[in-house]
Amino acid sequence: MKPIRVALIPAYQPDELLCDLLHELALRDFFLIVVNDGSGAEYEPIFEEASRSAVILTHHENRGKGAALRTGLQYLKDNFPFHYTVVTMDADGQHRICDAEHLCRTAEEHPDALILGCRDFKGKVPFRSRFGNRMTSILFKLTSGRYVSDTQTGLRAFSDALTPVMLTISGDRYEYEMNVLSHFARAKLPMHEVRIRTIYIDDNKGSHFHPLRDSFRIYKELLKFSLSSFVCFLLDFLLYCVILGVSGSETTANLLARVVSSIANYSINRWLVFRDDQTLMKTASQYFALVVLILLCNTALLWLFVNVCRMNPYAGKILTEVILFLVSWIVQHSFIFRRKKGSA
């Protein structure tokens, strides 16, 4: 039996374009869910008109796009016994119905995958949208190892089998959509891109995306590992300088500094960065085996830079850490703190 297609639309202070979108979707036999995310009393007439064709779920206060999407998904989980395919759409009319249908067909062919409607960014595209998406794609590739050409797309589709996973992912505002991508990348879950047309109405002035505030929410999830490594690098470098000044031995200073900073780095990564729930013994043994390996490489590289290349010992230390940073990230992300496939 073919799954029912559900269009889930979070809406904050929408205009009449929402009703036009719902009318077109209803003609294509979509089951419609709209989440009124605290729009206020003056927008009640729009939601009253929308209720003629859609289920309206209401937040009495604005809670954000991520919270609205989870509200809609929880409604489906609790009240929808049928097999269904969800497509999430924006309320501003910038997603085409034919693209939504294309994503649904792809999700039905790949029920274990997240389907992303990736814009081509051709033609007249606002600079902040083009630049912001390109920057986020680069950062996501560096920190996750997966490339997604349009990390900020709101047009996404997936089967009902993935609803429980979507409900466990954190983030109440725009960062939720980035957290979804991060989760799928870390859990080795499939993501497929479908090319869609780029549409911006009135230079995208209807968007409620706040460039500074919401960009910070998005980027902070991508940069936590880098910040953890940087903090522990500062601790490592400070201890290295102090011990080197006392002992006069680069090797002794490097070994002792590395032991202390490695314990700190493991604790931060386990509890704050990767939020790992595996057994302490398993991850700790793997992590400190990595520490020993990197320490040997670290010490060898530092000795090479200082004694063979005749570099300043402090500059040599910095260069050594930069080289080994990427190695550490790849191993921790892909092996030590890797989540089981499909886990929350």
Residue 255 is predicted with a pLDDT of 84
Q: Where residue 194 falls among pLDDT bands split at 50, 70, 90?
A: very high
List C-alpha distances in Å: 275 to 118, 220, 339.
29, 15, 10
CA angle centred on 228, ends 325 and 66, rounded to 5°: 115
pLDDT tens sequence across 205-227: 545 445 455 455 556 655 666 67
Report domain extents, the chain: 4-209, 224-336
φ, ψ for residue 81, nearest 5 deg: -80, -5
Residue 208 is predicted with a pLDDT of 45
Residue 277 is predicted with a pLDDT of 56
pLDDT tens sequence across 7-27: 999 999 999 999 999 999 999
The whole-angstrom separation of Cα 110 and Cα 190 is 9
Question: What average pLDDT does range 277-286 have in this prediction?
Answer: 67
Q: Where residue 158 falls among pLDDT bands split at 50, 70, 90?
A: very high
Check: pTM over 0.85? Answer yes or no.
Answer: no
Q: Hey, what are 225's tokens?
A: 């590992």
Burial of 142 (0-12, 13-18, 19+ CB in 10 A): middle
- Does the structure show a pLDDT above 70 at 125? no
User: 3-class SS at 37?
Assistant: strand
Q: Where residue 30 falls among pLDDT bands split at 50, 70, 90?
A: very high
User: 3-class SS at 206?
Assistant: coil
The whole-angstrom separation of Cα 122 and Cα 198 is 7
Locate tokens 């006069």: which residue? Answer: 248
- Listed in sequence order, the residues at least 6 apart from 120 whose beta carbon sits closer than 8 Å to its beta carbon are 195, 196, 197, 198
Residue 74 is predicted with a pLDDT of 97
The DSSP H or E segment spanning 116 is: strand 114-119
- Does the structure show a pLDDT above 80 at 287? no
Question: Taking a C-beta distance cutoff of 8 angstroms, is the pair 111, 77 a contact?
Answer: no
Q: What percent of the chain has pLDDT over 70?
A: 79
CA angle centred on 192, ends 225 and 11, rounded to 5°: 80
The whole-angstrom separation of Cα 332 and Cα 30 is 43
Residue 174 or 337, more confident: 174
The whole-angstrom separation of Cα 177 and Cα 66 is 7
Residue 178 or 40, more confident: 40
Q: Nearest-CA neighbor of 171 among 209, 132, 221, 212?
A: 221
Q: Which CATH superfamily is domain 4-209 in?
A: Spore Coat Polysaccharide Biosynthesis Protein SpsA; Chain A (3.90.550.10)
* Alpha-helix residue ranges (DSSP H) falling in the chain: 17-27, 44-50, 65-79, 97-109, 127-144, 163-168, 175-186, 211-247, 250-268, 280-303, 313-331
Measured from the Cβ of residue 314, the count of other Cβ atoms closer than 10 Å reads 12
What does the CA dihedral 292, 293, 295, 298 come to, rounded to 10 degrees? 180
- Does the structure show a pLDDT above 50 at 341? no
Q: Where residue 238 falls among pLDDT bands split at 50, 70, 90?
A: very high
Residue 325 or 13, more confident: 13
The whole-angstrom separation of Cα 310 and Cα 11 is 62
The whole-angstrom separation of Cα 309 and Cα 3 is 65
